Chains A and B, each alone.
Chain A
Amino acid sequence: MLGTALAPVSQHYLDEARQMQALSFMVHIPLVCFGIAFPAMVLFAEWLYLRTGDDLYRTLARRWTRVMVALFAVGVVTGTILSFEMGLLWPDFTGTFGAVFGLGFAIEGFSFFLEAIFIGIYVYGWDRLSARWHFASGFPIVIAGMTGSLMVISVNGWMQHPSGFAMRSGQAVDVHPVDALFGNWFFWHELVHMYIAGYIVTGFLVAGAYAFARLRGRWGRYERTALAIPLTIAALASPAQVLVGDWAAREVAVAQPTKLAALEGVPKTTRGAPEHLLGWYTDGRVKYGLRIPKLLSFLAYHDPNARVQGLDAVPPDRRPPVNVVRVAFQLMVGIGTLLALLGVVFLAVRIRRRRLPESRWFYRALTLAGPLSLVALIAGWVTTEVGRQPWVVYQVMLTTQAVTGASGIPVGYATLVAVYALLAVAVAWVLRRLARAPLAHVAAQYENA
């Protein structure tokens, strides 16, 4: 067969191409979180309305719907950019392995289709469909969010832990796409981790917005309900995420020992490896960190004397940038732990006293929790993706072999930065406008709509 693989080329702007891709992910992933979790919250509010007949819940569901559709629109286009970039930036990657992993995206396309179709029906069907059918039209959105993330993450799992093909003279042969994507155990922890992250990020961001409103003195029944629903979800999801994170780290330890060595700054293969909290990796050791003997071996392998592979197991040009991944990993774990603590505080007050917390400090922390959860989310993806470097397909294809030969990457990068900056301003403006629309006005508008 002719041309099933493209020859690698030299690209002067490899780093810019990588940053451009990373930027596009950073912009898209928070929107993915809203795509995963927000429809479920909106539907819950609508369900409360259907059960109680209380107009408050209806107003809440309708206002959230407007936010949902605005963010979905932005998510659609930023997601499209990613599928363009697969070819624009990494033609040798898609050219060589498109046959292996493409199926996942093709199926994801259908999930995305269903999401787009039913968002259209749900959003424009308020008051025009019967209450029951309208509520039902929301379910495909929630399900498609689940299957869509399953598909995308199966591709990422394959990139981290490739299987289902053989390499012969630079070509992928003997391809079994179904095995490659779904016969691969590695992606399950990524999927659960990301799915829960969707609820944490959405929950804390939405709750944080109302926490901020409370600090500025807006605290009616509407705000209390709007805060309690997402906060309860986030408060439960974040402790669960700590446990899932531990599972994920152990899977990484087995499948990607080099990534684990970079996350933890392990220079040499050791038995009974210590854990370092904080610190900076330099000259083959972690400086200024808090050292806890044998903890890493215990955490990774449930044995305090287990052997942990060090960075020295691979040549220097096959190691990821240690400090980037290490800092990202520690940020994610640190913030995740703080969020879990905040969640436990909330749940304790909620269960012991049957009310919401009253301390101003709690609401200050909650206002901060939203943006922090975003930082943790992005840091988590930096850990996963930069930790895989210099491979685009782990131990099969280097990122340098995947990059485009096209010129003009700096121009494209600069353009994209400017466009995304405008996008960020636009989204901030829309969300502010939607938040400011006075409640009575909104309610009246719905009555007339």
Chain B
Amino acid sequence: MHLYDLPLVFALVGLALYVVLGGADFGAGFWQLTAGRGRTGERIRDHAHQSVAAVWEANHVWLIFVLTVVWTAYPAAFGSIASTLSFALFIAAIGIIFRGTAYALRSGASGRRGRRTIDLLFGISSVLTPFALGAAVGGIASRRVPVGNAAGDLFSSWLNPTSIFVGLLAVVSGSYLAAVYLSADARRLGDDDLERRFRIRALGSGIVAGAMAVAGLFVIHHDAHPLYDGLVNGSGRPALVISAVAGVGTLGLVWARRFEAARYGAVIAVAAVVAGWALAQNPVFLPGLTVKQAAASHDVLVAVIVAVVAGGVILFPSLGVLFRLLLRGRLDHASEEGGLERPRGTEIDTRPVLMGRLAAALLLAGFGFLNVAEAGWAHAIGAACLLCFVATGFAAAVPLRS
């Protein structure tokens, strides 16, 4: 592997994580959309909402990570992709707005009908967004995005057999992942009824996803032959085999109600598809543009790699904490666990006079350094003084027993 490949590997890992984590959130929306009416439908929708509520924002950020890495490390490729696929990406963006809006709305909804309407909005956008993003990927995979500012066809680049197939696969695989995760969550909550319902959904959508993947090979055989070649005969084949084995194995695990293991099996099955696509297409990024040609200069690549590795050192432990809390049920809605110890009742003494004088001194110093002095270092001190003025002034002035 070369230096110029590494940011793309990061982006693909990010994409795979987005597909298995964010994709499952979209899938939860799909099950809300198809939950049906009445009491049962409501329970399904609530369960789907509560399972994603704490994590969907974190899961969503993978998409932004992928975008920023690609536009930093492969700027010309990003410009070409975004301008040619602008329609598909715009539709995805609108779907993303509606998802966030629906989520915000749910925190204010009290009535059953209100929640149902909001879940409908969430569900529709949860189908729209992965479809549009998948269609965009299909456009790249079928080599319909040439280099240049909006150089490709604005419609057929994402409305073509391969794009439609990838879009549908994105929706179905997300639903499958969500059903597996939600079964596991229902098991943890001890809700047998929900567990049974999501197990059926997991089996059904798993079979549909598998059948679609097989049918999709015929589609790309006709529509995107180089991709087909790379997947079936080229370096993508191992990933294809792993995906198929993991997919079948996961169905078995779901059948046997071993949902925790099935979680990971499903993740491997879906992530392998992303890997297979990458391997099949390598080293071509866009037609006439290899990864090497698309890459930014050495310094930029090093900076991105350092930033991603350093960021990862902070990010992964934090994500670990979030998912640990989630999977152990510490963030569950109905959980009674947790510390509710009453804090000790201490009177607060903020020494208002002293703090007030300090604040006034800092304000004066800030004015002197920032507005009278000319040097850059003085401005730095001045700005710091003003921030400290706000902090000390707050300590002096905030009324605690008003």
Contacts and interface: CB of A to CB of B under 8 A. Distances in A.
A71 B104 contact: yes
A350 B75 contact: no
A228 interface: yes
Given A88-B83, A426-B101, A240 B399 contact: no
Interface string A91-123: 110111111101101111110111011111101
Interface stretch (B23-31, B144-152, B228-236, B276-284): B144-152
A355 B399 CA distance: 8
A7 B322 contact: no
A129 B318 CA distance: 16
Nearest to A55: B342
A86 B67 CA distance: 10
A370 interface: no
Nearest to A299: B371
Contacts of A416: 94
A53 B293 contact: no
A238 to B, nearest CB: 10
B108 A113 contact: no
Interface string A137-151: 000100000000000
Nearest to B389: A240
A107 B65 CA distance: 9
Contact of A350 (B89, B389, B399): B399
Given A128-B338, A243-B382, A408-B87, 7 more contacts: A73-B100, A80-B93, A91-B150, A127-B338, A224-B402, A244-B383, A423-B97
Contacts of A124: 53-54, 331
Tell me if B's interface is mostly helix, strand, loop or mixed: helix
B75 A117 contact: no
Interface size class of B (residues with CB under 8 A): 35 or more
Interface in B361-402: 363, 366-367, 370-372, 374, 376, 379-380, 382-383, 386-387, 389-390, 393-394, 396-400, 402
SS of A interface (majority) = helix
Interface stretch (A169-177, A281-289, A317-325, A392-400): A169-177
B73 interface: yes
A224 B75 CA distance: 52
B107 A70 contact: yes
Given A77-B97, A247-B371, A106 B72 contact: yes
Contact of B154 (A225, A235, A239, A408): A408
B67 A91 contact: no
A123 B54 contact: yes
A218 B330 CA distance: 37
Nearest to A70: B104
A8 B108 CA distance: 47
Given A99-B75, A114-B315, A72 B57 contact: yes
A216 interface: no
B156 to A, nearest CB: 14
B55 interface: yes
A113 to B, nearest CB: 5
A213 interface: no
A73 B103 contact: yes
Given A70-B107, A125-B325, A127-B340, A6 B399 contact: no
A95 to B, nearest CB: 3
Which of A69, A76, A78 is most buried by chain B, counting CB atoms within 10 A of its CB? A76
A69 B97 contact: no
A313 interface: no
Contacts of A76: 57, 60-61, 100
B86 A240 contact: no
A87 B83 contact: yes
B188 to A, nearest CB: 14
B371 A243 contact: yes
B314 A114 contact: yes
A105 B68 contact: yes
Contact of B108 (A95, A121, A132, A433): A433
B78 interface: yes
B379 A74 contact: no
Given A72-B57, A87-B83, A434-B107, A98 B289 contact: no
B97 to A, nearest CB: 5
B381 to A, nearest CB: 12
A192 B307 contact: no
Interface string B290-328: 000110110110011001100100110011011001000
Nearest to B346: A51
A350 B57 contact: no
A400 to B, nearest CB: 12
Contacts of A8: 149
